[in-house]
Structure 1
């Protein structure tokens, strides 16, 4: 018998010796009686309905799926970046902390808006997407300054955090009326941020990309109704795409293999591959064109590295940012034309699912960015073979 059960038994025995069933004083056990044996009847069972691992939780599968997802990964950079400071800044808290999200929308009883830094340690928790107040959110303000309506419920949560932090309007403001091809050390890269699925999907309606004047752009990609919101394709807990949904209309359930057009956008002529390969090829072409422009027009070679501030000086063109005392040197010879193209390249590459979220808008931004750089480089778009 375990010690805790023994103590419980002795305690119960002591109570029972005070008052018997008729309220009279109970008798002490006779000399030589074994109190343990006498109280065996009152010992709690070693196992039974009181064990938590035997209690049925209806949502257990959903909780398990969420716990294994990126939204719950408390070790991820998205949630540990500010551990050294001990708090998540106001500007970041709405998406990098469940508490910050609720404060931003006033779901915690406060006025909408994050009042101050939020303690570290939070993730995108259950109450981020299951808070009853989500149903009251009718619209989300986009970085472009456009207010966009959302369906009541979880779409408000998705769209709050997957729209980026900058938009094409930010680039327009940065370049103002500066000369297109004049390097200006007052210009800095405008970073759209990460995981921009919502912004990509809205296309020209959200104006997340830099949209060249005089051009027309595809709007919100509705895919195929009733697939009209994020959770139509993504499992809300695992975040995975359901290939069974794809097979409703497509011959292949793998998103990478799906093609939406018989046009070869990358000029390869191969239309048997997924549209993603066309987008990847044109994005690679755009980056090469930006680097060519940096050398021939801006006069300072450039390289991209996947860490802030992303674009660095590469004077020796070895494919690695130049270092001074071990520190990489951020790019400082931006021209307005180059900044627009680099923003669009990053905007597209910051959404790994752009090929599915809005392939039309993505291809348009890529083509127009290459075309704009082609002028001062004397490139013939027809020879490049890409399509819009």
Structure 2
């Protein structure tokens, strides 16, 4: 891929003034190294130290591609005035020798890099850096960019200017990760407009900004998890979008467009800050233990039910505190019990949702809907303590960082490698072997079998969410046990009258887990119990441990809109059973899904709740 060939050449200013002359020699007769020699003299800046890295600036520049590729010397960036430095003024003062201390902030990176230079290496090989949407463009479905409005003149937020290639492998890994991806979810909305000025503890407005933008995240964590305001780049008017009151069944209006036509990724300065606003030191940002408010307001129901002002505080996991605020979701299962206490009408309501990648809620067992009378505390579970107080020699960076970044490609944030089909081929995290040794040693094959079983169990949960005997309906073509209503609410009491809370909980668990493809590893037994109990309830509205028979006797509901059946793989993608007319052609495929689910949840036929 093109990103694998990119050399990130961006530079940052500091006190390395160009002492050898007023401008760079562009004739090619004198090298950048020769032009910069006087700057590097001990009497000038030979001893200057980078405030970002603590290294000698001269040493960094000598190792950089700006030097080795004869690309940019001191004067090219710092643009000293004529006569800088005057040998007389060094002792007697006066003189006019001035050099830019911060060329980046002065826009000097743009002398060589950007859309104005089609042959620029970054434009040709990494166009993700730049966006070129015009202010008249109203469609919000455009990609994000690395150099969004708040990062123009802030290249040093990601790059050490004096040796911009020092972290090139990290840059490449990050660019390939979900954090650096400029498409997919990044394009769904202009997330910088989806914030709120209301208190985090009580708001029901959008607060997407806090996790879908770098600026929003930094505002959130540096304010004690209170500020979730919208923003725009310098010189642009801030636009706020928030849910509008609409007629029952009506759709929300389209978001108002921002004049700032750039979108942010999860940049380097989200996770790295040395306490002085410099990210290129690669010091981890200090973040307090996350305090998250899971707020919910029902819509199109009377009276409106509101849940807010109830904090969930996560444990202190040091460097992994950086990860928790955005991997703790937007809803947790206990909210359903709060809704019961507040008098929710489960026959006419919408529902709290966990959102995506809420792994922290599984690691720390805050996320799932736990059915009354069931035990969800595993007898032996240490994943939440990985990287805490050097548990099993795993250090002190918390579970997220210790598991996902203890490998040779830290900024892919993946503890395993997968082949093109999504099959786990290698365990890359070096952390697993601290505990999984001897008879408990992990292998890629074992992890893949767990992943396959997890996917199959969730697929069968999805099957049990339907009732093939329900009549055809334009509102409910999938024949869901939760009956959709014309006002866009749902009747959670439809299948099991009076059991709406448990039905909502089972559907909540399904959504929570399907949006965390690593849940089978994050908290293995907790995940299995959530799926087991959800299937148990949805089978007949009773918790009677009939999960094996529920799976074996399940049939696929015919979609009343298409007349076909199908079964998707909620974790690996694609289909176990592609859409087709009901019959026997898919019997073997369906039987295998059932067998895999039973093995995963019960250990095999005749097994018990995990």
* 1:239 match: 413
- How far off its partner does 1:189 sit? 3.0
**Structure 1 contact 202–221 (Cα < 8 Å) conserved:** no
Structure 1 residue 226: Cα displacement: 4.1
The range that moved more, 360-369 or 234-243, is 234-243
> Is structure 2 residue 187 aligned with structure 1 residue 80?
yes
Inter-partner Cα distance in structure 1 for 2:356 and 2:26: 61
Write the distance in 2 (CA, Å) between the matches of 1:364 and 1:316.
26
Query: Does residue 191 in structure 1 map to residue 175 in structure 2?
Result: no
2:334 match: 169
1:89 — aligned with what? 195
- Give a deviation string over 1:47-70, Cα, whole Å, max 9, x none: 544863737442222122212221
Q: Tell me the distance in 1 between the aligned counterparts of 2:538 and 2:343.
A: 16
Cα pair 1:89 1:117 within 8 Å, conserved? yes
Q: Structure 2 matches for 1:55-74, cutoff 5 A?
A: 56-57=163-164, 58-74=166-182
Is residue 369 of structure 2 the alignment partner of residue 210 of structure 1? yes
Post-superposition shift, 1:300? 7.4
Shift of 1:338: 1.9
1:345 Cα offset (Å) = 0.7
SS in 1 for 2:375: coil
How do 1:150-299 and structure 2 match up within 5 A?
A: 150-153=316-319, 155-176=320-341, 184-185=347-348, 187-203=349-365, 207-218=366-377, 221-223=381-383, 225-227=392-394, 228-235=398-405, 236-242=410-416, 243-245=427-429, 248=433, 249=436, 253-254=443-444, 257-258=445-446, 274-292=449-467
Equivalent-residue separation in structure 1 for 2:538 and 2:288 (angstroms): 40
Superimposed CA distance per residue, residues 218-273 of structure 1 (whole angstroms, 9 cap, x where no aligned partner)? 3695346345511222134112225243673365542xx326xxxxxxxxxxxxx7
Q: CA 1:301/1:139 → structure 2, altered by over 3 Å: closer, same or farther?
A: farther
Kept in 1: contact 2:287–2:322 (CA 8 A):
no
1:97 is displaced (CA, Å) by 0.9
Local SS of the residue matching 1:233: helix
Contact 2:209 2:228 survives alignment (8 Å): no
Asked if 2 retains the 8 angstrom alpha-carbon contact of 1:167 and 1:209, the reply is: yes
Mapped to 1, the partners of 2:528 and 2:169 lie a distance apart of 39
- Flag the structure with more relative contact order, 1 or 2, with Cα contacts below 8 A and sequence separation at least 6: 1
CA spacing shift, 1:370–1:241, aligned 2, 3 Å: same
Contact 2:216 2:229 in 1 (8 A): no
Q: How many residue pairs are counted as aligned between the two chains?
A: 303
Given that 1:143 and 1:167 are in contact with CA atoms closer than 8 Å, whether structure 2 keeps it comes out as no
Q: Structure 1 residues 59, 281: closer, same or farther in 2, change over 3 A?
A: same
Cα displacement (A) at 1:216: 1.7
Secondary structure in structure 2 of the residue aligned to 1:351: coil
Q: 3-state DSSP class of the match of 1:345?
A: helix
**How far is the alpha carbon of 1:173 from its aligned partner?**
2.8
Equivalent in the alignment of 1:365 = 530
Aligned equivalents of 2:26 and 2:215: distance in 1?
Answer: 46
CA 1:130–1:300: 2 relative to 1, 3 Å: farther
State the distance in 1 between where 2:461 and 2:272 align.
Answer: 41
Contact 1:143–1:164 (CA under 8 A) maintained in structure 2: no
Query: Which one of 254, 259, 265 corresponds to residue 123 of structure 1?
Result: 265
For residues 28 and 489 of structure 2, the distance between their equivalents in structure 1, rounded to whole angstroms, comes to: 71
User: Aligned with 1:102: secondary structure?
Assistant: helix
Residue 300 to residue 113, structure 1, CA distance change in 2 (3 Å): farther
Report whether the alignment pairs 1:113 with 2:245.
Answer: no
Q: State TM-score, norm by structure 1.
A: 0.66
Once the two structures are superposed, what CA deviation does each residue of 1:351-382 show, in whole Å capped at 9, x if it has no partner?
00001111111001111112222343899345
Structure 1's 117 and 244: CA in aligned 2 closer, same or farther, altered over 3 A?
closer
SS in structure 1 of the partner of residue 290 of structure 2 = strand
Whether the 8 Å contact between 1:244 and 1:253 is mirrored in structure 2 is no
Counterpart of 2:29 (choices 33, 39, 45) is 45
